[in-house]
Amino acid sequence: MTETDQSDTVSDRYLKREVLGEGTYGVVYKAIDTKTGQTVAIKKIRLGKQKEGVNFTALREIKLLKELKDPNIIELTDAFPHEGNLHLVFEFMETDLEAVIRDRNIFLSPADIKSYFQMTLKGLAFCHRKWVLHRDMKPNNLLIGPNGQLKLADFGLARLFGSPDRRFTHQVFARWYRAPELLFGAKQYASGVDVWAAACIFAELLLRRPFLPGTSDIDQLGKIFAAFGTPTPSQWPDMVYLPDYVEYQYVPAPPLRSLFPMASGDALDLLSKMFTYDPKARISVQRALEHWYFSSAPLPTDPVKLPRPAPKSRAPDFDPQDGPTVLSPTRKSRRIMAGPERFEGNSNQEEKIDEHAGEVRQAVGDIAGKNEQVPMSVDFSIFGTKPQSTPTINSADSCHLKRELDREFQHDE
Ligand code: ADP
């Protein structure tokens, strides 16, 4: 079967290519934007079944994601509903940090590690400045473009479409990056969860293997405590009040140097500040970026010179001869057809909606009132209203959704 035979169109604009992978929220395809000739990645998000679907809160949040423009953030270029799924269109990226870390043919110098990590923190700092939390930082969400630029992906999706469901095997790894307050069931959490996850990624870059690969939440905490010592109430006063707090046998911390024998003193100092137990005492992303680790020798490698694996796919890109062959109904008839039945999809969606979103936002709002300096959460500052736990869509809604997305992304009529 040839490349063209496999092609399909998604809406009348995108020429679908191969599947790039199956993610938390659905399949990701490579596609060609026939309007611009650019290669893009389309994330097909399964919407809820029957009564579920896109609600207007989600629509507003998609608009906000579109506004997050930074060199170290993946750009959302378009969004549209199609055949019962919501499609999010992103700039196409060649590889990701997980592939870099796992590739045994790649040697990462201290300057290379510094560069990859600095770009990670820059993207995260931008989002925290905009009061957005990532909540699912892990190496395969850090995508790398042809010029070596690292960009954060999946921003806000955890909030939009529910927390990643860790029953799915590909989500199990997300546990390795979870902050101890989340593992103890904290409902109020802030940017510190992303700092902890970023520290795990830094550690993984230094070690070239996952640093804390827990097999369950209990084991995850066990691994954290084995690395940094069991936290004492004086180190982390709020710990004992967390909903899922259980007392662990006290173990002292081994010297950090013994865990990272090859790391510089600067790197160890930054790691220890990011791996601080008490989230209130944990360094912020902005402060981490200002740490002398980044200004001391060796300076971060220029991104274009960074080592990276061969691009995942070598499929030929856009050839105007290819099409598109419009297999889907034209835009106008799709719009008429878009009733509730057009939005059917994943029956797991209801379970995946974050049932704690409202509590978190509420709690975060309370705290933020006391401390205006700390970006608390996207849930608090941007998204003022609680999403419906079972979002519904009727045919009037779906037409409105389509119209809104068309307007937002300036689709042609
Ligand atoms: P997960 O939910 O597990 O983080 P994703 O849904 O983000 O996974 O991605 C699934 C697959 O698609 C991965 O292999 C990822 O590298 C790839 N992918 C996601 N976004 C892009 C993109 N913008 N460009 C290229 N590949 C991408």
Q: Which residue has the higher pLDDT, 355 or 112?
A: 112
Lowest mean pLDDT among 124-138, 252-266, 281-295, 352-366: 352-366
Q: Return the pLDDT at 23.
A: 76
Q: Give pLDDT, residue 51.
A: 44
C-alpha closest to that of 391 among 54, 133, 123: 54
The pLDDT of residue 254: 97
Q: Is there an atom of ligand 1 within 6 Å of 39 CB?
A: no
Type of residue numbered 174: A
Ligand 1 midpoint to CA 366 (Å): 35
| pLDDT above 70 as % of the chain | 64
| Ligand 1 atom showing the smallest separation from residue 43 Cα | 6
b/e per residue, 360-393, with b = 16+ CB within 10 A?
bbebbbebbeeeeebbbbbbbbbbeeebeeebeb
Q: Which residue has the higher pLDDT, 289 or 68?
A: 289
Q: Examine the residue annotation and report whether 136 is marked as an active-site residue of this protein.
A: yes
The amino acid that residue 37 corresponds to is G
Which residue among 32, 74, 97, 140 is best mutated to probe the pocket of ligand 1, counting the most ligand atoms within 8 A of its Cβ?
Answer: 140
- DSSP codes joined into one string, 12-37: TTEEEEEEEEE-SSSEEEEEEETTT-
Report the pLDDT value the prediction gives residue 26, as an integer from 0 to 100: 78
Distance between CA atoms of residues 24 and 161, nearest Å: 10
Which residues, other chains included, contact 62 with Cβ-Cβ below 8 Å and sequence gap of 6+?
A: 76, 79, 88, 160, 405, 408
Mean pLDDT of 31-48: 88
Position 86 scores a pLDDT of: 84
The pLDDT value recorded for residue 402 is 66
Average pLDDT score over residue span 377-403: 39
How does pLDDT run across 271-313, given as a tens digit for each residue?
999 999 999 999 999 999 999 999 999 999 999 999 999 765 4
- The residue-averaged pLDDT of 130-135 equals 85
- Give me ligand 1 centre to Cα 169, in Å: 15
Beta partners for residue 33, in sequence order: 14
Query: Would the pLDDT of 167 be above 90?
Result: no
Give the residue, 10 or 383, on which the prediction is more confident.
10
Long-range contacts of 401-406 (CB under 8 A, 24+ apart): 401/54, 401/56, 401/59, 401/81, 401/338, 402/80, 402/81, 402/335, 402/338, 404/59, 405/59, 405/62, 405/79, 405/80, 405/81, 406/80
**Which residues belong to the annotated binding site for ATP?**
20-28, 43-44
Q: Is the CB of 125 within 6 Å of ligand 1?
A: no
Confidence check: pLDDT of 399 > 90: no
* Among 69, 82, 34, 57, CA closest to 318: 34
Quick check: CB of 98 below 6 Å from ligand 1?
no
Distance 158 CA to ligand 1 centre (A): 14
Of residues 325 and 63, the one with the higher pLDDT is: 63
SS3 304: helix
Average pLDDT, the chain: 75
Ligand 1 neighbourhood includes 95 CB (under 6 angstroms) = no
- Are the CB atoms for 222 and 158 separated by under 8 Å? no
Strands 39-46 and 76-82: unpaired
Compute the Cα dihedral for 141, 143, 22, 45 and give only its sign: positive
Nearest protein CA to atom 6 of ligand 1, as residue: 23
Question: Which residue of the set 136, 194, 379, 397 is catalytic?
Answer: 136
Given a cut of 80, whether residue 25 has pLDDT beyond it is: no
In this prediction the pTM is 0.76
- 53 by Cβ neighbours in 10 Å (0-12 / 13-18 / 19+) ranks as buried
Give the pLDDT score at 170.
38
E strands in 269-411: none
Nearest CA to ligand 1 atom 1: 23
Ligand 1 pocket check for 29: Cβ under 6 Å? no
pLDDT tens digits, 180-207: 999 999 988 889 999 999 999 999 999 9
The encoded tokens of residue 221 equal 């905490």
In short, whether 74's Cβ falls inside 6 Å of ligand 1 is yes
Enumerate domains of the chain plus CATH numbers: 3-93+316-410 (3.30.200.20), 95-305 (1.10.510.10)
First to last CA, the chain: 34
Report for 80-94, 234-248, 373-387: range of highest mean pLDDT: 234-248
Whose CA is closest to atom 26 on ligand 1?
93
Name residue 95's amino acid: T
CB 272 within 8 A of CB 196: no
What average pLDDT score do residues 355-374 get? 30
Angle between helix axes 265-274 and 192-207 (nearest 10 degrees) is: 150
How far apart are the CA of 23 and the centre of ligand 1, in A? 6
Instruction: Please give the pLDDT value at position 182.
Output: 92
pLDDT for residue 361: 28
Mean pLDDT of 244-269: 96
Q: What is the pLDDT of residue 165?
A: 45
Residue 76 in contact with ligand 1 by CB distance below 6 A: no
Residue whose entry in the numeric block shows the structure tokens 């997050």? 68
User: What's the CA gap between 327 and 337, in Å, rounded?
Assistant: 15
Write the CB contacts of 150 (distance below 8 Å, at least 6 apart in sequence): 72, 97, 116, 119, 120, 123, 142, 143, 144, 303
